[in-house]
């Protein structure tokens, strides 16, 4: 079971997490559709692809690179985690947005209850951790609403019984960008004050999304991964693409595109979790070399426990940029 890594209530205590975790389960990939290379890696827990000592620096901007690349999924199906269908937690509106680059998927998102007015509010898109959405994620959004933001928490393709094929960060980045465009179109939202945050897998997506489009004023990835080789080397049962194609890893690795960051970025991490490693530092250096502000900070807490404090810190950072 992989629930310890994918605690879907990123940042809350076990007492709050327990009801949701009890419903969560790992969803096996369809029998007969897993390539032998992926089966072998999962069985031995050893990646069958080389992990570069230093991730390459791509010359092309990430937005451009995405225009020329389409991931090729060898295994098609839902997210590796499953849970109950999405409802409407207290304080949330349940909406749908047109996910994916072509708008072909109708996906569920939650937006806080607010009254639109002529005084436009800043919007924050928060990308959840793990590979499924739970009510506990929404409980962490209250500080944004209290600070005057319109906050949107989207789910992604293949999660919670929704349509679409899980790809492991790549097509989910398209969903995140589509959710951001939906958020900026909502009545009462100031499209010139759009902010981005995310935790764990959502932090990884936040980094990729803030490299893909210049629509965000600032971004705060929390406990984010930057290197897809090392991520899928640890969690190879999540590989749905051809692991022998290095470009598939490159396009999921923000460290390869540090120069593509398009907004000021604050990387946050808990003092009790894995520290910022050399590839995080390399991402920071590559972003700074391109003239972008990239900060990083350790906060009290472990991988999940850091989230409440990180949400507060993200609000402070967003206010530096007009929120």
Span 57-79, average pLDDT: 97
305-317 pLDDT per residue, tens: 999 999 999 999 9
Residues 6+ apart with CB under 8 A from 168: 228, 232, 238, 239, 240, 241, 252
193-243 pLDDT per residue, tens: 999 999 999 999 999 999 999 999 999 999 999 999 999 999 999 999 999
Nearest to 116 by CA among 224, 190, 208: 190
Nearest to 130 by CA among 69, 80, 89, 175: 80
- Report DSSP letters for 32-90, one per residue: T-S-HHHHHHHHHTS-SS---SS----SS-HHHHHHT----BSS--S-SEE-PPP---T
Q: Is the pLDDT of residue 13 over 90?
A: no
Please return the burial class of 165, using the count of CB atoms within 10 Å of its CB with bins 0-12, 13-18 and 19+.
Answer: middle
- What percent of the chain has a predicted confidence (pLDDT) above 90? 83
pLDDT of residue 45: 52
245-271 pLDDT per residue, tens: 999 999 999 999 999 999 999 999 999
Residues 6+ apart with CB under 8 A from 203: 127, 129, 221, 222, 223, 224, 225
Compute the distance between CA of residue 320 and CA of residue 323 in angstroms, rounded to an integer: 7
Question: 22-26, 202-206, 226-230, 299-303: lowest mean pLDDT where?
Answer: 22-26
147-176 pLDDT per residue, tens: 999 999 999 999 999 999 999 999 999 999
Q: What's the sign of the alpha-carbon dihedral 39, 42, 48, 50?
A: positive
Q: Is the pLDDT of residue 20 over 90?
A: no
pLDDT of residue 31: 31
> Residue 133 — very low, low, confident or very high, per pLDDT cuts 50/70/90?
very high
**Whole-structure pTM over 0.85, yes or no?**
yes
Average pLDDT, the chain: 88
pLDDT of residue 288: 98
99-117 pLDDT per residue, tens: 988 999 999 999 999 999 9
**92-99: strand order across its sheet:** 92-99, 105-112, 150-154, 121-127, 189-199, 218-222, 265-270, 294-299
Q: Is the pLDDT of residue 14 over 50?
A: no
Angle between helices 170-185 and 201-212 (to 10 degrees): 70
Nearest to 253 by CA among 235, 226, 288: 226
pLDDT of residue 46: 65
What's the maximum distance between 2 C-alpha atoms anywhere in the chain?
Answer: 59
């Amino acid at each position: 079971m992989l629930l310890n890594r994918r605690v879907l209530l990123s940042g809350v205590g076990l007492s709050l997490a327990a009801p949701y975790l009890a419903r969560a389960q790992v969803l096996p990939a369809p029998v007969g559709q897993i390539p032998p290379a992926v089966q072998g890696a999962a069985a031995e827990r050893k990646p069958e692809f080389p992990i570069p000592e230093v991730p390459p620096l791509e010359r092309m901007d990430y937005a451009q690179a995405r225009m020329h690349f389409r991931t090729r999924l060898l295994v098609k199906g839902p997210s590796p985690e499953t849970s109950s269908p999405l409802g409407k937690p207290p304080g949330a509106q349940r909406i749908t947005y047109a996910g994916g680059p072509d708008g072909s998927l109708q996906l569920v998102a939650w937006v806080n209850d607010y009254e639109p007015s002529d005084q436009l509010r800043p919007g924050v898109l928060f990308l959840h951790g793990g590979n499924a959405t739970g009510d506990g994620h929404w409980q962490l959004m209250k500080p944004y609403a209290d600070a005057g933001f319109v906050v949107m928490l989207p789910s992604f393709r293949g999660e919670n019984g929704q349509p679409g094929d899980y790809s492991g960060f790549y097509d989910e980045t398209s969903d995140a960008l589509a959710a951001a465009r939906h958020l900026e179109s909502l009545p009462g939202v100031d499209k010139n004050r759009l902010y981005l945050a995310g935790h764990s897998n959502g932090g990884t997506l936040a980094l990729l999304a803030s490299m893909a489009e210049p629509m965000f004023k600032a971004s705060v990835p929390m406990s984010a991964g930057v290197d897809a080789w090392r991520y899928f080397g640890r969690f190879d049962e999540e590989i749905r693409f051809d692991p022998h194609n290095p470009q598939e890893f490159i396009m999921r690795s923000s460290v390869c595109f540090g120069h593509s960051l398009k907004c000021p970025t604050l990387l946050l991490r808990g003092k009790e979790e894995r520290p910022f490693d050399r590839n995080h530092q390399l991402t920071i250096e590559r972003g700074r070399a391109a003239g972008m502000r990239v900060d990083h900070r350790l906060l009290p807490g472990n991988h999940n426990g850091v989230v409440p404090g990180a949400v507060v810190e993200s609000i402070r950072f967003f206010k530096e940029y007009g929120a």
